[in-house]
Amino acid sequence: MKNTPTDSVPILQDLIRCRSVTPAEGGALTYLENLLSTRGFICHRLIFRQEGTPDVENLFARFGSSAPHLCFAGHTDVVPEGIVDSWTHPPFAADIAEGFIFGRGACDMKGSVAAFAGAAIDFVKSSGKFKGSISFLITGDEEGPAINGTVKVLQWMEENGHIPDHCIVGEPSCLDTLGDTIKIGRRGSMSFTVTVEGRQGHAAYPHKADNPIPKLARFIDRIAAAQLDDGNEHFDPSTLAVTTFDVGNPAGNVIPSRAMAKFNIRFSPEHSFASLRSWVEAQIASVRGQMGGTWSLSVTEGADAFITEPGSFVGLVQDAVERETGVFPKLSTSGGTSDARFVKDYCPVLEFGPTNATIHQTNERIAVDELRATQAVYGRIIADYFSAEV
């Protein structure tokens, strides 16, 4: 008798009904553990702690023990629901209306988790023993500090012999229609705070003061006008955005003693944390040489830039997406950061998931047809992966 396909719709509804607002587990990992363990997956609940950060529960589940090993990485934590009265359907009810499943996390990213779970369960059920293994790396810390989640699960996986050969992160990658975008990398992120110290004084006697504002303004104008690079085949030109310029001075007749500005750089692999810091320091030195002043610089290294070069794995996923959706996906490195930035240190990784039009919004939702189509794409990827050399 033919096996009945697994429907990802009720899986997603059950996951949405778990109030897993980061860092709360909310029952979502328990649900997944029960779902996967009863289908033959060996599950490990991993709780990580660090002083000053919330404890985080994570789940690693694997079927099989041999290579090739394909891992699906995702998260069940969600952002807060916001003003509940603004929702047309309760954010944790998982109501179906007008062909959509409504709820916080429907797209980001419980929908992808449900779709891949359904696809993996069906593959295991229909294939019996196959050469290779499928795993899930599910964290409860993606929307939070990202300290006690994926990065530490990966360390545990390495220590216990579970590093995959390839990984798909289920972030909602598509823009307008399912299948239009696969993300093969992400820009890096680096934040800077520049402070110039001066000497306070009366605005009527500027020669008796040391005004830090013109110095910092010259610097900001200089860096804001700079072109860091021209971009390349896979990355748009790197960007620099000034986010604050503050002097903390409410008086119109007082020259302040300090001026501070913050800015953020999003960059391609053509740059590094070290090279960008050196560039900023050189701009400070140039302006200081012209105008003087006492300068200080504080740097926060966010996510490093990375790319998974197109090859057999990327091509396999592109072909699978096109076969199921009729759309050949473009390769993108746009957007902010994701947990793929941690996975890339261990194996080739890409991101594919449903459309992202309503992520983090009131009335977040995913079309029932799109969810099932996403499951079909994941099913095709899994089947092709274990029948091909990648």
Output the CA–CA distances (angstroms, integers) from residue 299 to 101, 241, 278, in the order listed: 42, 15, 11
Output the CA–CA distances (angstroms, integers) from residue 43 to 31, 35, 144, 151, 195, in the order listed: 12, 10, 23, 18, 50
Query: Max alpha carbon distance in the chain (Å)?
Result: 93
Instruction: Answer whether 331's CB lies under 8 Å from 180's CB.
Output: no
Burial 26-61 (b: 16+ CB within 10 A, else e): bebbebbbebbeebebebeebebeeeeeeebbbbbb
Catalytic residue annotation: 77, 142
Closest CA to 215 of 240, 198, 192, 193: 198
Instruction: Answer whether 339's CB lies under 8 Å from 167's CB.
Output: no
Sheet with 166-169, strands from edge to edge, namely 42-48, 56-63, 133-139, 69-75, 166-169, 349-351, 181-183, 330-332
Q: Which long-range contacts (CB under 8 A, 24 or more apart) does 142-147 make?
A: 142/22, 142/74, 142/75, 142/77, 142/109, 142/338, 142/339, 143/22, 143/75, 143/77, 143/78, 143/79, 144/22, 144/23, 144/54, 144/56, 144/77, 145/53, 145/54, 146/339, 146/342, 147/50, 147/53, 147/56
Residue 133: its H or E element: strand 133-139
Instruction: Answer whether 313's CB lies under 8 Å from 381's CB.
Output: no
Sheet with 258-267, strands from edge to edge, namely 239-246, 258-267, 188-197, 294-301
